[in-house]
Amino acid sequence: MNWDEIWLTITDFFQDNVWNIIGFFAALVIGLIVIKILTVVLKKAFTRLKMDSVAQGFLLTIIRFALWLVFIIILLSVAGVQVTGVITAVSAAILAIGMALQSNISNIANGIVIVTHKMFKKGDRIEVAGISGRISEINLLFTTINTADNKKVTVPNSTIVNSAVINADAIGKRRVDFNFPVAYESDVKVVCDIVLDVMKSDGRVYLDPAPFCKLKEFGDSSINFFANCWCDAEDYWDVYYYVMEHVFNEFKRRGVSIPYQQVEVRDRTDVVTMPYDEAPIPERVEKDRPEPETRIEEIKRHYNETKERFAHKKSHVEPELPKEPSVPSDDE
């Protein structure tokens, strides 16, 4: 190995491409600085726009990828590499990867839809595709839900966008509904007063709109009352359990009974007489309907009506009566 020739080749390369090398490193430094500055500026702009943190992460990731791709192509161009072939190869690679990862790309697009349209946010309680729980994480591909029994469920973003989503925390206020069955001998006003007093006693319940309680229906074994009140979304279950427990206690304290499912059975000793009419079914009597008018009779009637109309018309000029139409023969 001739080290002198190798050294000469290296020195000749740097002498011939000194400006390309300087331009390469200059582009490298400037590109890194520009990417850093743009990332910081965009992050501040997103924050000023009060954009959701998940949406910021989505957009910044896409923008960083695009900036780095352009940056690498510029560096290759400065280094003297023909970028046309590189761009073609990158485009083909992106196309192949896109075809192979269609479902993942769909999830990414739907993830952007979720955060940009603010369907829900981290911490919201939602119900989607038969799954109910709180949102713990939203990323590019999946949304993670923690269920009430502490299960972690990962749902693809495309499934969420293509399904009906119930967001219980979106508005911030929820209505708590109750049904109270009581015995038929219960006093309606007493029952309503008990339910309303219990709901108003909880400071988490809104007084405007006011709590509501009315008799709803007559059941097989009870009369059923419907009641509701409004509270903050995070207090929903606490208010529900509070009202149920205290209403039950007040019912017992004030003598309002909640009946069991029951069926009333009576032993009849009397003879049941079924009244009936001894007359037989009447014979059929046909309705008197006029015979349908034939075509010949219809033509004659129309002619006579027209003739009478012209006869009663007052005019100096004798109107010319229409000729009597020819009556078609039976052969026609």
- Kindly report, residue by residue over 223-247, the tens digit of the pLDDT: 999 999 999 988 999 999 999 999 9
Mark which of 253, 277, 301 sits at the end of a domain. Answer: 253
Whether residue 229 contacts residue 243, with contact meaning beta carbons closer than 8 Å, is answered with: yes
Pair (72, 130) in one structural domain:
no
Can you give the CATH number for the domain in which 209 is found? Answer: 3.30.70.100
Domain presence at residue 148 = yes
Q: Is the pLDDT of residue 277 over 70?
A: yes
Q: Is the pLDDT of residue 34 over 80?
A: yes
Residue 145: strand pairing partners: 135, 153
Q: Which segment of 107-111, 137-141, 312-316 scores lowest on mean pLDDT?
A: 312-316
Q: What is the mean pLDDT of the chain?
A: 81
What distance in Å separates the CA atoms of residue 120 and residue 272, rounded to the nearest whole number? 66
Pair (93, 34) in one structural domain:
yes
Domain presence at residue 233 = yes
Domain presence at residue 227 = yes
Q: What is the pLDDT of residue 182?
A: 94
Pair (205, 233) in one structural domain:
yes
Pair (148, 84) in one structural domain:
no
Pair (95, 16) in one structural domain:
yes
Pair (20, 95) in one structural domain:
yes
Given CA atoms 266, 270, 275, 278 in this order, what sign does their dihedral have? positive
Q: pLDDT by residue (tens digit) across 167-222?
A: 888 888 999 999 999 998 899 999 999 999 999 999 999 999 999 999 999 988 89
Mean pLDDT of 155-169: 88
Domain membership of residue 162 as a residue range? 120-167
Pair (57, 74) in one structural domain:
yes
Domain presence at residue 329 = no
What distance in Å separates the CA atoms of residue 231 and residue 242, rounded to the nearest whole number? 12
Domain presence at residue 141 = yes
Whether residue 155 contacts residue 145, with contact meaning beta carbons closer than 8 Å, is answered with: yes
Three-class DSSP category at 80: coil
Q: Is the pLDDT of residue 255 over 50?
A: yes
Mean pLDDT of 80-100: 73
Pair (8, 86) in one structural domain:
yes
Pair (23, 77) in one structural domain:
yes
Pair (155, 222) in one structural domain:
no
Q: What angle do CA 177, 178, 182 make, to 5 degrees?
A: 160
Whether residue 228 contacts residue 211, with contact meaning beta carbons closer than 8 Å, is answered with: yes
Q: Give percent of the chain above pLDDT 70.
A: 81
Q: Is the pLDDT of residue 105 over 80?
A: no
For residues 245-275, b (16+ Cβ closer than 10 Å) or e, as one string?
ebbeebbeeeebeebeeeeeeeeeeeeeeee
Q: What is the pLDDT of residue 200?
A: 94
Q: Is the pLDDT of residue 121 over 80?
A: yes
Can you give the CATH number for the domain in which 134 is found? Answer: 2.30.30.60
Q: Is the pLDDT of residue 322 over 80?
A: no
Q: What is the pLDDT of residue 5?
A: 66
Q: Is the pLDDT of residue 11 over 80?
A: no
Number of domains in the chain: 3
Three-class DSSP category at 131: strand
Mean pLDDT of 301-317: 70
Q: Give percent of the chain above pLDDT 90.
A: 25
Name, in order, each residue with C-beta under 8 angstroms of 9's C-beta and a sequence gap of 6 or more: none
- Of 14 and 152, more confident: 152
Mean pLDDT of 109-131: 83
Can you give the CATH number for the domain in which 79 is found? Answer: 1.10.287.1260
Q: Which residue has the tokens 């109270």?
A: 180
Q: Which segment of 55-64, 130-139, 162-171 scores lowest on mean pLDDT?
A: 55-64
Pair (11, 93) in one structural domain:
yes
Q: What is the pLDDT of residue 316?
A: 47
Domain presence at residue 271 = no
Mark which of 199, 223, 253 sits at the end of a domain. Answer: 253
Domain presence at residue 296 = no
Mark which of 231, 253, 275 sits at the end of a domain. Answer: 253
Q: How many CB atoms are located within 10 Å of the residue 14 CB? A: 10
Q: How many CB atoms are located within 10 Å of the residue 235 CB? A: 17
Pair (24, 83) in one structural domain:
yes
Q: pLDDT by residue (tens digit) across 18-27?
A: 666 777 778 8
Domain presence at residue 190 = yes
pLDDT band per the 50, 70, 90 thresholds, residue 90: confident
